[in-house]
Structure 1
Amino acid sequence: MRPKLLNITESRPPPASEIGLTSEAVDSDEPKFLKAVEMYFDRAAKYSDASPEVLKHIKSTDSVLSVTFPMEKDGKTVMIRGYRSQHSRHRLPCKGGIRYSSAVDLQEVEALSALMTYKCAVVDVPFGGGKGGIMIDPKEWTEAELERITRRFTLELCQKNFIGPGVDVPAPDVGTGPREMGWIADTYRNFNPQDVNGAACVTGKALSLGGVRGRTEATGLGVYYGVREFLAFPEVQAQIKHHGKIAGSTVIVQGFGNVGYWACKFFESSGARIVGVVEHDVAVHSDAGLDVEQLAQWRKEHGSFRGFPGATVVDQPMKVLEAECDVLIPAALERQIGLRNAHRIKAKLIGEAANGPVTPGADEVLRANGKVIVPDLLLNAGGVCVSYFEWAKNLSHLRFGRMTKRWDERSKGQLLDLVEGNAGRPLSEVERRQLIHGAEEHELVYSGLEDTMIVACNETHQTAVAKGIDYRTAALANSINKIAASLSGSGSIFTHA
């Protein structure tokens, strides 16, 4: 007997966990995500040096793959739909995550791939923008079923030349992680056994499969570095009346996934108070500050923040999102701050750790109310920066620091011998170990990410001050100029006969 055909991926509405707080934040007539990205682009294009012809090229999506394939579940056949968008191939490979979500659609994937193009450019990562997604709720599928779905989608990418170390390199996103990236890498390797650089076909892998130390926490760490840099600018301090230090600042984070968790950890370790954490169904708040590790452990054991001791559990998460704080970090999904709630946001600085969490209308309201917004294409670029490091590591077939660590330690040791002789006293063993320590891989990754974020933040700040524009427009204008220079310099754009 043939299984009954059932297309649950297209007939079911996204669950509340996928929608986040969008329904409470966004008016029905506000632009969708793709339109919002295009509106931000048009606003920034006016401040760029690119010609109208080049702007048209940059704005448009190069190519999109849409596939469907059958999977059997509970004796029924389910048609799975997946997408991969390559927004720009001005630099190769294209780069961007693959998300598993019931809310995935073609417009979302195109918008995210465009954002990836601008994100890579603003932090000088030599990739074009890409993004992919499969329209499923991963919670509804077993691990074995998810593996079959992942491998089949990868097969589709291989057959259509939408994956490869020099073509298109996926990474984790919402609903995916190192496990799925391992399945993708293994499937690619089976279809390309002669590709010696096959491990570089995907990033965000486990260490045992060629991943890089520091990738898991990279996006959250980049968020921390970016907020730290912007708080240090005198113009920002004057605008929001803030002392400019992370230590002593109050922080609220929306979304306690990988990005939100690590952002909380780095802010907490630098002396900030995490006074609120917001999830789609419930939030926790404490003026004295939350213990991030205890909160994470509680949710792991109980599946929710409910009942967490020593804090107020709030059944209306939006109230905590709108509470008083110095820094608000939306780290969940897009369109979480819209015209319905923008006027109630009390945070002084909004750091966009998620992609597109603020709608264009809300962006104007927040800025009119004196808020500083650090934009997503800059602030959450830590993930793609460290993905770049992983890709480079895979192509070099060499762990960072392997060739230099002991040489550095010996050189420092010889220098310390001279210092001890001149100082007239030997250093303690602890002091000596600290001073001669050679950098480990994760320390080099942290250093590279910090330098990248500092440079990009300073470039954005300088453009904003010079042109008298907001930071989102400045970051996007810088991106457009860099992409235009690449297109024009290569001669790859032809606009005249």
Structure 2
Amino acid sequence: MKKIESEKVESDITTHGVNPYNVVKSLLKESVNRLGYNENIYHVLKKPMRMLEVSIPVRMDNGTLENFTGYRAQHIDILGPTKGGIRFHPLVNIDEVKALSIWMSLKSAILDLPLGGGKGGVIVDPEKLSERELETLSRTYIRKITPIIGPQKDIPAPDVNTNPEVMGWMIDEFDQLRGYNIPGMLTGKPIIIGGSLGRLEATGRGVVLTIREAAKVLDMELDKTTVAIQGFGNVGSMTAKFLHELGVKIVAVTDAKGGIYREEGLNIPDLLEFVKNKENYASDYTDAEPITNEKMFSLPVDILIPAAVENQITKDNAPSIQAKVVAEAANGPTTPEGDKILEGKGVFVIPDILCNAGGVTVSYFEWVQNSMNYYWKEEEINQKLEEKMLFGFDTVFKMREEKQCFMRDAAYMVGINHLVKAMHARGWIKDSDLSEG
């Protein structure tokens, strides 16, 4: 059976039944009201401009024909083509994809990227597919959404349970349909066919940059802090790697199978080498004590990093969280009830639409490089990523100080403000929409 390298540990973590689309709509409405805009702004932003559902028939190895369901949401393209990942997961649903597309719009707006938000997904457990079945599924999905994607329309990328190999199949299928190479039609590709250096590490690197900036404003010394990480796929493992390089002590990580804990700090280089074997999960590592996901959330650490999927910090486990900082490396990891509890405890939350925006930023760099057919060195890409992430953090933090609000509220307001300026410039909204009425 085919195992997916890039996000293998996130695929089985449950999402506690909270609808992310309802969550994001509520946050949009609250932020529009707080900014003093007319409710018309909310009505423009609350729905994706386009939502496509497709059937994906796949001939299985046993000769049967199975028909999978796939989606592609495009939220708003006022700043540029929509952009966002494709996830393969059994819990994918239409409302999740809608929510994720809105979050992508806000991420791009916060970091001043000329992109809108998109997202795609297929309802499937890829670990139950052979490599041939997975490739057929990937190629058929991209064929079905081809009419609405392209480098100037909508640019897919990897997400949960997809990786550069899957992107390679998808771009090959798209190019065969078009009859010529179009490297900018998706990002996260293998380097040899137009991928960008630094893309695989980008989300984790961005997470660490926002943690570094948060530590500055909170007067924390990173080399004296302790961290626990939920999820050890691409994002979680890269976050661990870069935090370790800064001298941070990572005491616990968990994944779909369980977790590991070491009070004096895990040997992160050795753990990263261990999980290079695709059959190994972080929780299989023996030079540490076992720990449950629930216990990990309650550890007396300075920084907690949810790097799995949605709805992991809830009203049930938020009261036991002792961390001073929660850095949301995952999309939507905190439920509204959990968020209120963290706010009441004075936890500094680095919200997902800022914290994990490093991935879309380097995807944007990849798209730019594809457009000009000239490729930057990794050092230059990392420098540009740092500039963008620091710009985003500073802008959100200033909004927080100005409005005397929490970081999540500030991030939404920064993103909405940016989109409102573009909508007004294009005539989508009128002066009367910029004030309550």
State the partner residue of 1:157. Answer: 145
Equivalent residues in 2 for 1:321-470, closer than 5 Å? 321-400=297-376, 441-470=377-406
Contact conserved, 1:250 with 1:326, CA < 8 A, in 2?
Answer: yes
Quick one: which of 8, 13, 29 aligns to 1:20?
13
- Alpha-carbon shift at residue 37 of structure 1 (Å): 1.2
Contact conserved, 2:227 with 2:252, CA < 8 A, in 1?
Answer: yes
Matched, 1:275 2:275: no
Equivalent residues in 2 for 1:220-239, closer than 5 Å? 220-233=204-217, 237=218
Quick one: which of 471, 483, 489 aligns to 2:407?
471
State the partner residue of 1:4. Answer: none
SS of structure 2 residue aligned to 1:217: helix
State the partner residue of 1:71. Answer: 58
Contact conserved, 1:58 with 1:483, CA < 8 A, in 2?
Answer: no
- Alpha-carbon shift at residue 157 of structure 1 (Å): 1.3
Quick one: which of 246, 260, 282 aligns to 2:222?
246
CA distance in 1, matches of 2:414, 2:306: 24
Q: 1:208 to 1:300 in 2, by over 3 A?
A: closer
Unaligned runs of 5+ in 2: 1-7, 433-437
State the partner residue of 1:106. Answer: 94
Matched, 1:480 2:416: yes
State the partner residue of 1:434. Answer: none
Q: 1:309 to 1:451 in 2, by over 3 A?
A: same
- Alpha-carbon shift at residue 358 of structure 1 (Å): 0.2
SS of structure 1 residue aligned to 2:97: helix
Matched, 1:183 2:169: yes
Equivalent residues in 2 for 1:172-321, closer than 5 Å? 172-193=158-179, 198-233=182-217, 237=218, 243-301=219-277, 303-305=280-282, 308-314=285-291, 316-321=292-297
CA distance in 1, matches of 2:339, 2:260: 26
State the partner residue of 1:436. Answer: none
Q: 1:69 to 1:307 in 2, by over 3 A?
A: closer
Contact conserved, 1:299 with 1:305, CA < 8 A, in 2?
Answer: yes
CA distance in 1, matches of 2:224, 2:100: 34
Equivalent residues in 2 for 1:82-161, closer than 5 Å? 82-158=70-146, 161=147
SS of structure 1 residue aligned to 2:172: helix
Contact conserved, 1:45 with 1:477, CA < 8 A, in 2?
Answer: yes
Q: 1:156 to 1:49 in 2, by over 3 A?
A: same
Letter in 2 for 1:390: E
Please say which structure displays the higher CA radius of gyration.
1
Deviates more, 1:280-289 or 1:265-274: 280-289
Contact conserved, 2:253 with 2:282, CA < 8 A, in 1?
Answer: no
SS of structure 2 residue aligned to 1:216: helix
- Alpha-carbon shift at residue 495 of structure 1 (Å): 10
SS of structure 2 residue aligned to 1:46: helix
TM-score by length of 1: 0.82
CA distance in 2, matches of 1:16, 1:152: 25
CA distance in 2, matches of 1:323, 1:191: 52
CA distance in 2, matches of 1:16, 1:328: 17
State the partner residue of 1:34. Answer: 21
- Alpha-carbon shift at residue 328 of structure 1 (Å): 0.6
- Alpha-carbon shift at residue 298 of structure 1 (Å): 3.0
- Alpha-carbon shift at residue 327 of structure 1 (Å): 0.6
Q: 1:279 to 1:91 in 2, by over 3 A?
A: same
Letter in 1 for 2:211: V
- Alpha-carbon shift at residue 308 of structure 1 (Å): 2.9
Q: 1:455 to 1:151 in 2, by over 3 A?
A: same
CA distance in 1, matches of 2:70, 2:32: 31
Q: 1:382 to 1:471 in 2, by over 3 A?
A: same
CA distance in 2, matches of 1:33, 1:19: 17
Count of equivalent residues: 423
CA distance in 2, matches of 1:270, 1:113: 33
Deviates more, 1:301-310 or 1:90-99: 301-310
Deviates more, 1:64-73 or 1:295-304: 295-304
SS of structure 1 residue aligned to 2:199: coil
Contact conserved, 1:48 with 1:478, CA < 8 A, in 2?
Answer: no
State the partner residue of 1:409. Answer: none
Question: Per-residue displacement from partner, 1:296-326 (whole Å, max 9, x unpaired)?
Answer: 3334546234563431112x22101221101
TM-score by length of 2: 0.93
Contact conserved, 1:337 with 1:362, CA < 8 A, in 2?
Answer: yes
Contact conserved, 1:21 with 1:318, CA < 8 A, in 2?
Answer: no
SS of structure 1 residue aligned to 2:53: strand
State the partner residue of 1:51. Answer: 38
Deviates more, 1:50-59 or 1:476-485: 50-59
Matched, 1:491 2:427: yes
Question: Per-residue displacement from partner, 1:417-470 (whole Å, max 9, x unpaired)?
Answer: xxxxxxxxxxxxxxxxxxxxxxxx111111011011111111111111111100
- Alpha-carbon shift at residue 19 of structure 1 (Å): 4.6
SS of structure 2 residue aligned to 1:469: coil
- Alpha-carbon shift at residue 58 of structure 1 (Å): 1.6
CA distance in 1, matches of 2:63, 2:232: 35
Letter in 1 for 2:343: R
Q: 1:278 to 1:467 in 2, by over 3 A?
A: same
- The percentage of counterpart residues that share the same residue type is 34
Unaligned runs of 5+ in 1: 1-14, 238-242, 401-440
Question: Per-residue displacement from partner, 1:14-43 (whole Å, max 9, x unpaired)?
Answer: x99645154xxx5x6xx4111111122122
Contact conserved, 1:337 with 1:359, CA < 8 A, in 2?
Answer: yes
Letter in 2 for 1:36: V
Contact conserved, 2:32 with 2:38, CA < 8 A, in 1?
Answer: no
SS of structure 1 residue aligned to 2:52: strand
